[in-house]
Amino acid sequence: MNIRLLDASHPRWGSELERLGVLLQQGANPTLFPYHFLYVTLSKIGGQLALFADGAGLVGAGFLFPRRVAGCDAARPRAYTLRFHAAPGTAANPDEIVAAVEAARPDATVVFYDPAGECSFCRGGERVGLVEIGRPDADEAAAIRSLQRSVWGSPDEFLYPTDIHSAEFGAGTSLVARVDGKVAGFLFGFYRFDGSVLPGDWAARFNGALRLESQTMGVLPEYRGLRIANLLKKQQAELAWREGIGLIHWTADPLQYANAALNFGLLKAIAYDFAPDLYPFRNELNRVSASRFSLTWLVGSRRVREVGAFGERAEIVDLMRRPFIPRVNEGYETARLDLSEEILAIEVPADWTTLQQHDIRAAQAWRALTDEIFAAYIGLGPDRYVVTGVAADGDRRFLLAERGGAALWARLSASI
């Protein structure tokens, strides 16, 4: 058995994924992950693509997902779920497949997983007011796939498989929100090895070697007054902290102000990683280039843990009362890239989704200018800034960015 291991650094990464998509009938195969996830995120979380061949050709392909296993062998400190897809007309021996991977990755313990095989689901839940948050059962896992289609209008090839919520696959996060027994929202994500550079002593204090990548969250429009997104994220944070995981990351469109109010104003996440045009997709909510922040959530910090799961409101700074905070830009027309104050206000659209639908040229101009602003200011280097909050001035909306440094790192990461 021959094996090749690839990640996003390989020059044929994209073309190999496209070839496998055709071979395994992506779009008609509900066990395949979306191309945009494999292309961008799999390597980011520490995963790889494994291609298996014998003398007759390709036997199958496996996707290695970081996995949390208690008491890993010291000689093999990392564990992976090998999500294996056999090539059409072939059969593979799981033991032989695992042996090939472990020979190529002597640092890893590998758990074979057949996404088309039998799997089990462990329903659970905790009630907060009218909402119950917990792990999904089999029917609810199937409903999550339908909700993805409903919330984003996505075609089948953009939907995540139902089986990722099973006990056997071992996803880092798998949660649903129930209202009157019906699935009203969901959140799922994956374990992640290492990741973006952390400032100060955060890597040691928050176990930077094993993190969570929170992938997708959705809430049906008819339930959005119940603050379900906040409840899902707070439950995710609590479960991660119980597992000894102190860092959760996810990507967010920096121009979606409502999401920014949740992420920065309520959850107290921060952003210092910016990627222009990260994802190669377009849909009803993403009609221009898909630039993203990568958010960092210190779930063990005081500023995160002291925010209650229910009854709290996002902190939104009133810029009319803070005239000393300079504004980087005036809408999408002009910007200053030479500011050096301790805190800056970056204007974003008040309603990014509606703007994309009704004025695509203005949306493109907003994206182009803010991409330039974020590239100039956001980061961990000298004289760079970290997004830590949100603000408003009448009907105008802003992100707040603070200059990085030892004092900021200490304040953001202070423990209870």
Domain definitions of the chain by residue range:
2-113, 126-305, 316-413
* pLDDT given for residue 287 in this prediction: 66
Which single residue is written with the structure tokens 């990683």? 273
Closest to 253 in 3D by CA, of 148, 374, 156: 374
DSSP code, position 263: I
Question: What is the rounded average pLDDT of the residues 250-269?
Answer: 96
Fold equal for 2-113 and 126-305: yes
Cα-based distances in Å from 250 to 223, 256, 269: 23, 14, 10
Contacts of 135 (CB under 8 A, 6+ apart): 121, 122, 123, 124, 125, 165, 174, 175, 176
Is the pLDDT reported for residue 281 higher than 60?
no
Is the pLDDT reported for residue 282 higher than 70?
no
- The predicted-structure confidence for 107-151, as pLDDT tens digits, reads as follows 999 999 999 999 999 999 999 889 999 999 999 999 999 999 988
Residue 82, classed as helix, strand or coil, is: strand
Number of H helices, E strands in the chain: 12, 19
* pLDDT given for residue 283 in this prediction: 53
- How big is the chain, counted in residues? 416
Tokens of residue 153, six digits:
């209008």
Q: Where are the alpha helices (DSSP H) in 130-194?
A: 138-152
Report the run of H or E that residue 211 belongs to, with start and end.
strand 210-219
Q: Average pLDDT, whole number, for the chain?
A: 93
Question: What is the rounded average pLDDT of the residues 233-255?
Answer: 96
Q: How many Cβ atoms from other residues are within 10 Å of residue 35's Cβ?
A: 19
Q: Over 24-76, what HEC string results?
A: CCCCCCCCCCCHHHHHHHHHHCCCEEEEEEECCEEEEEEEEEEECCCCCCCCC
Cα-based distances in Å from 1 to 13, 63, 158: 21, 17, 32
What homologous superfamily is domain 2-113 in, according to CATH? Answer: Gcn5-related N-acetyltransferase (GNAT) (3.40.630.30)
The two beta strands, 78-86 and 108-113, are: parallel
Closest to 161 in 3D by CA, of 206, 209, 116: 116
- The predicted-structure confidence for 53-75, as pLDDT tens digits, reads as follows 998 899 999 999 999 976 666 67
Q: Across-strand partners of 295?
A: 250, 271
Question: What is the rounded average pLDDT of the residues 83-105?
Answer: 95
Cα 326 to Cα 346: distance, rounded to the nearest angstrom: 9
Q: How many Cβ atoms from other residues are within 10 Å of residue 120's Cβ?
A: 9
State the Cα angle at 411 between 407 and 413, rounded to 5°.
120
* pLDDT given for residue 91 in this prediction: 87
Positive or negative, the CA dihedral 109, 115, 118, 124 is: positive
Cα-based distances in Å from 246 to 90, 253, 300: 42, 23, 5
Residue 366, classed as helix, strand or coil, is: helix
Question: What is the rounded average pLDDT of the residues 27-50?
Answer: 95
Which span out of 273-282, 302-311, 381-390 was modeled with the highest average pLDDT? Answer: 381-390
Q: Where are the alpha helices (DSSP H) in 220-350?
A: 228-242, 257-260, 302-305
Cα 61 to Cα 301: distance, rounded to the nearest angstrom: 40
Question: What is the rounded average pLDDT of the residues 181-194?
Answer: 97
Question: What is the rounded average pLDDT of the residues 310-314?
Answer: 78
Closest to 374 in 3D by CA, of 333, 412, 329, 408: 329
The two beta strands, 78-86 and 385-393, are: unpaired
Residue with the bigger pLDDT between 235 and 225: it is 235
CATH, domain 126-305, list 3.40.630.30, 3.40.50.1010, 3.30.565.10, 3.40.50.2000 = 3.40.630.30
Question: What is the rounded average pLDDT of the residues 270-296?
Answer: 81
* pLDDT given for residue 71 in this prediction: 63
Is the pLDDT reported for residue 224 higher than 70?
yes
Q: Does residue 289 contact residue 274 with C-beta atoms inside 8 Å? A: no
Cα 186 to Cα 290: distance, rounded to the nearest angstrom: 22
Is the pLDDT reported for residue 235 higher than 80?
yes
* Residue type at position 210: L
Question: What is the rounded average pLDDT of the residues 152-157?
Answer: 86
Is the pLDDT reported for residue 277 higher than 90?
no
* pLDDT given for residue 310 in this prediction: 67
Cα 308 to Cα 88: distance, rounded to the nearest angstrom: 51
Is the pLDDT reported for residue 285 higher than 70?
no
* pLDDT given for residue 391 in this prediction: 98
- The predicted-structure confidence for 345-364, as pLDDT tens digits, reads as follows 999 999 999 999 899 999 99
* pLDDT given for residue 289 in this prediction: 84
Which single residue is written with the structure tokens 């997708």? 216
Q: Give phi and psi for 414, each to the nearest 5.
A: -55, 135
Is the pLDDT reported for residue 225 higher than 90?
no
Is the pLDDT reported for residue 302 higher than 80?
yes
Is the pLDDT reported for residue 93 higher than 80?
yes
Confidence of residue 286 (pLDDT cuts 50, 70, 90): low
